Amino acid sequence: MNYFTPGIAYLEKSQLDYLAAKVAEAQYQVSQQQATVNALETKSTAFNAFLASADSDKQTALANLNQAHDIHSGLKGLTASTASAQTQCDKAYSKTFETADEMANLVNKLIFAVEIFEKFGDMVNKHKVNNVFIPDSLISQISKGTTDANNAIALTLTALQSCYAAEATALRSKRVIQLQVDQLSELVARFEAESDSTISAAESATDNTPLLDGPGLLSLSKAADTFFGERYREALVANTTVNKQLAYAQQMLGKATTSLNSWQSGLAAATAAAFAA
């Protein structure tokens, strides 16, 4: 048997019960939507952090790629300048070798000239004994010529020694530059080494283990830029999706809250009207 509050008719009680049920239902909907919003806000915070991390990794990978390109350009420039230096060194060595050879020939010619002067001087001295008409000035000139030739030989030998020293220095320089050319060639080849797979290069780019026979730094930098760029795009898509879900859930929460407020207002008004009757 139902007992009613004094002043409230049976029809009004039924209406109040209906409104109270609607308020309870709306409150449940608000609670459900609020739980969804809370979960999506937590998820959005995590995805925003993932996106920020992915963006940082992408920027770092791009900076590393740009640096790798700068290093590559520097190596190319150094290779070109070293090749030019090698050409100049080869020319210098050839000229030094030719000069040393010419100086050696000159020494031999001077030695031959001294021998000629000495033989000629000996011959003139022998003839002067029997020929008083041979002037002493001729003998002096021959003696002076022999002395000058000997002095020229001494100076030329000194110059020849300098040529041999320059030739040895040029040869050492030639070998040093050749070593530099070989090392640069190996370094550039190692730097430009390509990988067999983009995936393996990307995996290598995220591994701290140095590789001796794997992809080169340029290939690793390109793979890392591609890998982290793709990961950023994936994080951006996921973050955008979660934010859209959150915005929709917040919209639904707003509607549920508006509906709850409306039913609560209706219940309050109906209750007030019932007690006023």
**Looking at residue 199, what is its pLDDT?**
44
Q: How far is CA 36 from the centre of its chain?
A: 46
On whether residue 4 sits in a domain, the answer given is no
On whether residue 103 sits in a domain, the answer given is yes
| pLDDT mean over 226-247 | 96
CB neighbour class for 140 (10 Å; exposed up to 12, middle 13-18, buried from 19): exposed
CATH number for the domain including 122?
A: 1.10.287.950
Asked whether 164 and 107 are in contact (CB, 8 A), the reply is: no
Q: What is the pLDDT of residues 141-161, one digit of tens each?
A: 878 888 888 888 889 889 889
**Looking at residue 61, what is its pLDDT?**
94
Domain count, the chain: 1
On whether residue 3 sits in a domain, the answer given is no
On whether residue 2 sits in a domain, the answer given is no
How far apart are the C-alpha atoms of 170 and 252, rounded to whole Å? 85
Of residues 212 and 167, the one with the higher pLDDT is 167
Reference 228, options 199, 194, 202; nearest CA is 202
Q: How far is CA 6 from CA 18, 31, 132, 246, 277, in A?
A: 19, 34, 178, 48, 10
Under the banding of pLDDT at 50, 70 and 90, the label for residue 28 is very high
Residue indicated by tokens 């001494």: 154
On whether residue 59 sits in a domain, the answer given is yes
Q: What is the pLDDT of residues 191-200, one digit of tens each?
A: 888 765 444 5
Q: What is the pLDDT of residues 68-111, one digit of tens each?
A: 999 999 999 999 998 998 888 888 888 888 888 888 898 888 88
**Looking at residue 277, what is its pLDDT?**
61
Reference 29, options 235, 257, 195, 263; nearest CA is 257
Reference 68, options 201, 223, 195, 173; nearest CA is 223
Report pTM.
Answer: 0.63
Domain span at residue 143 reads: 10-276
On whether residue 1 sits in a domain, the answer given is no
Q: How far is CA 17 from CA 21, 23, 187, 190, 216, in A?
A: 6, 10, 86, 83, 77
Q: Which amino acid is at 107?
A: V
pLDDT reading at 5 higher than 80: no
